[in-house]
Amino acid sequence: MHDPTTTAEIARLRERIDAVDTRLAELLEQRALLAARVQRLKPVGYFAGRDADREHGLVRRMAEHAPRLGADRLAAIMDRVITAGLSAAREEADRGR
């Protein structure tokens, strides 16, 4: 398929991607835990308490650190991240009832 140098370079880069993904998973887990704590404190939490201004603000700030992705792509990513966090928090709250 590829020459050996290219194959080795792809393997090295994939190892680095895997390491980044591990860190990402840990950060996503940490974020979901913090977001769940916020839900428990908000007068109206979970999906009913979604706050578009807060979400736009955090995407804007993140975009400063991720110029390659930019605000529009980050907004799509963070929408999924926030939805997943709210879903996990809702499930946990429902189990506790």
The contact set with ligand PRE (CB under 6 A) reads 35, 38-39, 42, 49-51, 54-55, 82, 85
58 and 78 Cβ atoms separated by less than 8 Å:
yes
Q: How far is the CB of 76 from ligand PRE (least distance, A)?
A: 15
Can you tell me the distance from the alpha carbon of 88 to that of 97, in angstroms, rounded to the nearest whole number? 15
Q: How far is the CB of 52 from ligand PRE (least distance, A)?
A: 7
Closer residue to ligand PRE in complex, CB, 69/78: 78
Reference 84, options 55, 57, 46; nearest CA is 46
